[in-house]
Amino acid sequence: MEWYVLLTGAFFLLLALFATGLPIFLSFLTLNLIGLYLMTGNFGGVLLVVNSMFDTGTSISLAAIPLFILLGEILFRSGAVRILFNAVDAVIGNIRARLYAVTIVLSTIFGALSGSAMAVAAMMGSSLLPEMRSRGYDRNLSVGAILAGSSLAPIIPPSVMAVVLGILSGVSIAELLIAGIVPGILLALAFFIYIVIRGWRNPDLAPLSPRADLPGRERALLVLKALPFLLIIVTILGLILGGVATPTESAAMGCVVAAVICSILGDLKFAKLVEAVRSTAWITGMIMIIMVSSVSFSQILNMTGVTFELVAFVTSLALPVVLIFIVLQALPLILCMFIDQIALMILLVPLYQPIITGLEFDPLWFWTIFLINMSIGGITPPFGYTLFALQGVARDVPIQSVYRAAVPFVLIFLLMIVVLALLPDIILYLPSFV
């Protein structure tokens, strides 16, 4: 059977399984079993899927996910999120869409700290999303803001994906990390402008806060009460940038600091801490089982040869340079929807290297845009891992609603890629000082 028939059939079958209301991980497992049966005529290869799921689920790099979820749970259950939001209300005043902006800023900061879009999406979803919805903010736009901010994690340093890409491509890791700063900031600014315009055009999306008319003294007290929570971010950032600890270890220390501050200033009691741990275990379990099931799906695709055939087809096309660039950047965008990002980089980078050299593309410019494309794949329906991470936290939000919430921000991402492609100095300026 031709590769494009297999790929198209798998795509529509998975969508059909989603439409039946079957849980996401069961949809992937069902598709995996069907794929194994079509390949072997029996289910003898099921051990390959089991081994793939085990290897993925036991990866030490995933340890940051439950730790950042726990951090969010501690902040949420202790009332810390409300304290921080009240302080933002007091400072900013009667301006619409400010909580959307706070969501994007915090997601960007924690994304830069952890380097994991899934971890940030889960943490923001568990701590900020309930607060935003309780204040009457639009559900879809709130979900979209979290997805947008968390998707910047692989772009803004420190980024694990940038380090791996630098090793594979031979580009300076330092330059690749620095190259992501300006695009990441511009993307965050574009997200902010979009939500402000949406809130201005439709006031129902972002209700005004009743705290806008507070006396100056009361506003100052609210701000002072929130300042100690900055120590959590300072602790995590300082440990990582100082080279003292890994993101996982820093996340653990952040949980300790958060627990101390929330027990003093918030309402964190032992019973609530137990609830936070229990909820973290539940949410982490849901995220992990979804992820390992979807990763095993990418292994099935590799076993069938679909991935290799697709790459070979695209790279063999005789097209003008501009169209080849578009195709080379579109391919990771599509494949990242249903293939692990690291595995995809290992597959594509060696194939891309001779093409980039032959066409005389600037390697730093090309691979930075490539990295951004990989990030988009995490929030692109229907297979983006970050979408599944957030939906695992926001269990009352249907996956279809998460898909719709991501679409506007995916379009903003694509628009920014066009700008970066036309104006390469945006990427190359800061690295020129290295």
For residue range 53-69, what is the model confidence (pLDDT) as tens digits?
A: 777 677 776 677 788 77
* CA-wise closest residue to 184 among 397, 433, 348, 427: 427
Two structure tokens written together for 205? 């999306």
Nearest one of 105, 120, 164 to 371, comparing CA atoms: 164
> Which of the two residues, 362 and 98, has the higher pLDDT score?
362
Q: Looking up tokens 């300076």, which residue turns up?
A: 172
Interval 73-124: pLDDT, tens: 787 777 776 777 677 667 766 666 777 877 887 777 666 655 567 777 887 7
Question: 207: closest CA among 142, 264, 266, 287?
Answer: 142
> Which two structure tokens, joined as six digits, stand for 172?
């300076």
Sequence letter at residue 159? S
Q: Cβ distance 284 to 66 under 8 Å?
A: yes
Q: How many residues does the chain have?
A: 434
- pLDDT, residue 390, reads 86
The Cα 217–Cα 222 span in angstroms is 9
Which residues are within 8 A (CB) of 149 and not within 5 positions of it... i.e. 6 or more apart? 103, 104, 105, 106, 107, 108, 111, 120, 124, 188, 191
CA atoms within 13 A on the CB side of 392: 30
Which of 264-273, 331-340, 349-358 has maximum average pLDDT?
264-273
pLDDT for res 75:
76
256: number of Cβ within 10 Å: 13
DSSP 115: -
CA 102 to chain centre: 17
135 contacts 207 by C-beta, under 8 angstroms: yes
| Predicted confidence (pLDDT) per residue in 191-215, tens digit | 988 988 888 888 777 776 554 566 7
Per mean pLDDT, which range of 275-279, 387-391, 424-428 is the poorest?
A: 387-391
CA 7 – CA 98 distance, rounded (Å) = 42
Q: Is the peptide bond before 398 cis (omega within 30 degrees of 0)?
A: no
- Long-range Cβ contact pairs of 156-160 (< 8 A, separation 24 or more): 156/108, 156/111, 156/112, 156/180, 156/181, 156/184, 156/185, 157/112, 157/181, 158/112, 158/113, 158/115, 158/240, 158/241, 158/247, 159/115, 159/371, 160/61, 160/115, 160/116, 160/247
CA 56, CA 397: separation in Å to the nearest integer?
Answer: 26
Residue 160 contacts residue 153 (beta carbons within 8 Å): no
pTM assigned to the model: 0.67
What average pLDDT does range 420-424 have in this prediction? Answer: 93
Assigned token pair, 129: 């999303």
More confident site: 248 or 89? 248
Query: What is the structure's pLDDT at 187?
Result: 93
If you average pLDDT over each of 164-178, 197-211, 377-391, 401-415, which comes out highest?
Answer: 401-415
Question: Amino acid identity, residue 428?
Answer: L
